[in-house]
Every structure is written in C-alpha cells, then in structure tokens.
Amino acid sequence: MKEALQVEPLKMNPLRKESGMKKKLTRFDLQQMKEKGEKAVWMTAYDFTTAQLAEKAGMDMLLVGDSLGMAVYGYPGTIPVTIEQSLYHTEAVRRGAPNTFVIGDMPFGSYHGSVKDAVRNAVRYYKTCNVDCIKLEGGKRAAHIIQAIADNGMLVMGHVGLTPQSTAALGGFKAQGRTAESAQVIIEDAQAVYEAGAFAMLVEAVPPEVTRMISQELPIPIYGIGAGADCDGQVMIVSDILGIFQAFTPKFVKKYANLGAEMLKVFEAYIKDVRTGAFPAAEHTYGMIEGELDRLKRLRQKQTKKARKS
C-alpha cells in the first residue's frame, strides 16, 4: 500500500489573524509588510472560481488585469479591452474573493481623456465592484491623473517600466531600463508616481538592480513582475503559472503546472469516450423509479388507442 501523501500545511500570513473568516489586508497591512521585509504574493484572476481558490490558498491580493484581453478574449494585446469588460470580470472576482484585497486594472482609454473622466471611471470600480484600489499605467505622464483620483479618496497603485498599454510607443513587449539613461527615466517615473499619491507601485520587466533602487528609495510597497526579487512582493499572470496560456511564455514566468497539456488530454479522452459509446455509462444516468417504466408504457398505450379512435 502506498503511503499517504504528506502535505505541509499552508502558512497563513501573520497579518491575517483568522477568527472564523480570513482578514482582508489593508493598505496599512501592506505597508507594514514592506517595513518588516515580508513579501506580498498576488496574481491575476478573471473569474469567480479562480478567485475563490486563490483566496482559499491565502493569496494576499488579486489583480483583475487587462491581461484578460489576451488570456480570456484572445486579443493580440491589452488595448482592445473595454472598461465594461474589465468591470464585468472584476465583479466576478470580488464575489469569489470577498476577503482578499482586489485591484481593478483601468484599461486603455478609461483614463486617457480628461481627468474628470478618469476620476469618474475610477469611481465606477469602487461603486460597481467594491475594489480595494485601482491600478493604472504610466509615470510622469500619468502623475496628474493619479493625484486627481487619490485626492478624491481612492487608492491608486502605479505601474512603471514595461507598460503593456504603451507597447506601440515602446516598440513591443520589451524589457525596459537596461541602459543607464533608460533606467534613470524609470526611476524618475517611479518618483513622480509616488509624489502624485500612489500608495503602491508595480514595476514590470526591468533589471533587478533598477527595481532594488526604486524599492530602497521609495517608502511605499514596490512589487515586481519580471523585475527580480529585490522588491516587496511578486505578481504573476494566473494562466502563465498554471501553464494554460499557449501563445507565448515570457522569460520571467515560472510554470507551476502544465494544465494546458492536461486539459488537452482530458478533452481528447472525452471526445473518444463519446464517439465510442463509452460515455455516458449507466452510472452517469438517472434511472426511473421502480415500476414507473411499466406505468409509462401503459400510459402510452392508452394514448395511442385514443389517437387511433379519433
């Protein structure tokens, strides 16, 4: 007999003291984690079921990223994602993870017009989805928008480095800050975002040395994706770490499973079973109550005789 698999129990974040229900982190908890050197762990989620499992696992935060454009809708990038699509998925994630810090990711066009429109759209995330903060891309150019939203009492997370909504200007999905000059620009962008009132910041696809400087120089939590370990936590795309997204795999992704291959096997097996008649079997069907089949046959005979007479 095989020995039972020994599973090490999950270690709950010490800031999450359970009293029947998991405590949702606040901005002050996240700030305290930075000061204590504790890493925050988060990922993207786009649906109720994923959010539910992530909360059960003890995920610190969930980002309903505009990456759903590629991961869910099959777009070539994030630009086509609308605010209606983003709100729809953010609502689902909040329902699945009511006790997790949820971040609404403002898509392209939702804050690129007037400041008034940007604030109004940020408010929609709070009123419609009950988010804990919103995230938007851009450094110096977005500072005035960040300040306006923050001044209206909402939490804003900044995003510098590789900003997917600006790939046309950046020349594609390329690492940023690899030269001294371009690294200095990112550091200045981060400083501007902080001074505008962002409570935290995401740094994407920049060298670890640059991320380290930003994290050490700025007092707010600095999180990374493809930006090394010298920051206050990490975020990953859920379909990347599960091995579901098939189009490409960024260098910075670690696949914790290859569910794409497993799903393919399942689909192929299902197709085979249906076509060969192996599924559904008797155990997959609902039988009639004993004696009811005979009653049905008699009933149909009566109906047939009545039809013939008429």
Residue 221 near residue 171 (C-beta atoms within 8 A): no
Which residue in this structure is represented by tokens 């929609």?
Answer: 124
Gap between the Cα atoms of 67 and 162, Å rounded: 13
Copy the structure tokens of residue 310. 């008429």
Question: 38: closest CA among 245, 208, 231?
Answer: 231
Helices (DSSP H) in the chain: which residue ranges?
A: 27-36, 48-57, 68-71, 83-96, 115-129, 143-151, 167-170, 180-196, 208-217, 238-241, 259-276, 292-309
Residue 234 near residue 224 (C-beta atoms within 8 A): yes
User: Catalytic residue at 204?
Assistant: yes
- Active-site annotation holder among 55, 91, 137, 204: 204
Q: What is the DSSP letter of 221?
A: -
Single-letter residue type at 225 = I
Instruction: Show which residues are catalytic.
Output: 204
